[in-house]
């Protein structure tokens, strides 16, 4: 059901947009949700969703890592992301007057990562260190041990960070192929809350996301668990 406050629409490209209008604020929070996570990864791609989430912040074809970091921070906004067992999310917060910029930056980040081979090798070391730190932190490690028991043999038990073996084997071509298959409009949902004009929002989303291929939808199955992080550059 639609109202003046809540709306949902599926664009011709297959992209779904959900919005909640909050008239008494002067800001917006917008997220691009990608329907792919640890549960969709076969063993050779274990940890790929999380790895790709890190890699997009290394730079796009239009912005380097520094420019991405400043894109919204320079106007008082914020840009971040997290990976879960079933989803990956890229989110931005900004004043309502900077909504167009937020949509454009998110589209650039999600759709046009540069995926430089040198950055791939550097990030592998970062993720391997993260795995080591995670395994050496009991109150974090216990969640994986719990999942091993509860979801034994089920994809929901897959490790969000992946394994040392899988991460070490990633190549630039592997990451780019995963992005091309999974980051299509059939797997994307954009959710927004705050003060914004609905028609203008749809115009901006159509402008920046309209030519995105549909991609391959992952196979549905199960419950959800999230693993959050702060953006790393």
Active site residues: 53
DSSP 118-177: HHHHHHHHHHHHHHHHHHT-HHHHHHHHHHHHHTTTSGGGS-SS--HHHHHH--HHHHHH
What does the CA dihedral 228, 184, 43, 113 come to, rounded to 10 degrees?
-70
Place of tokens 């990562």: 113
The answer to whether 20 and 31 are in contact (CB under 8 A) is no
Distance CA 160, CA 134 (A): 11
The per-residue b/e assignment along 92-115, b for 16 or more CB within 10 angstroms, e otherwise, is bbbbeebbebbbebbbbbbbebbb
Contact of 40 with 63, CB cutoff 8 Å: no
Q: Is the dihedral of CA 100, 68, 15, 20 positive or negative?
A: negative
**Are 116 and 57 within 8 A, CB to CB?**
no
Tokens of 177: 């192929």
């Amino acid at each position: 059901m639609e109202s003046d406050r809540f709306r949902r629409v599926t664009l011709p490209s297959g992209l779904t947009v959900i919005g909640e209008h909050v008239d008494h604020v002067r800001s917006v929070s917008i997220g691009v949700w990608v329907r792919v996570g640890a549960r969709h990864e076969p063993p050779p791609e274990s940890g790929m969703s999380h790895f790709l989430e890190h890699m997009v912040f290394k730079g796009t074809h239009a912005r380097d890592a520094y420019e991405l970091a400043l894109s919204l921070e320079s106007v008082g906004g914020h840009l971040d992301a997290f990976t879960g067992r079933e989803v990956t999310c890229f989110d931005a917060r900004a004043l309502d007057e900077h909504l167009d910029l937020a949509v454009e930056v998110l589209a650039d980040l999600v759709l046009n990562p540069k995926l430089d081979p040198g950055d791939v090798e550097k990030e592998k070391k970062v993720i391997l260190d993260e795995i080591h730190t995670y395994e050496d932190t009991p109150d974090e490690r216990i969640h994986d041990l719990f999942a091993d028991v509860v979801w034994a043999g089920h994809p929901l038990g897959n490790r969000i960070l992946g394994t040392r073996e899988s991460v070490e084997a990633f190549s630039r071509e592997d990451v780019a192929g995963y992005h091309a298959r999974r980051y299509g409009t059939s797997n994307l949902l954009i959710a927004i809350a705050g003060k914004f004009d609905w028609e203008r929002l749809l115009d901006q989303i159509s402008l920046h996301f309209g030519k995105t291929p549909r991609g391959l939808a992952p196979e549905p199955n199960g419950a959800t668990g999230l693993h959050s992080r702060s953006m790393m550059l």
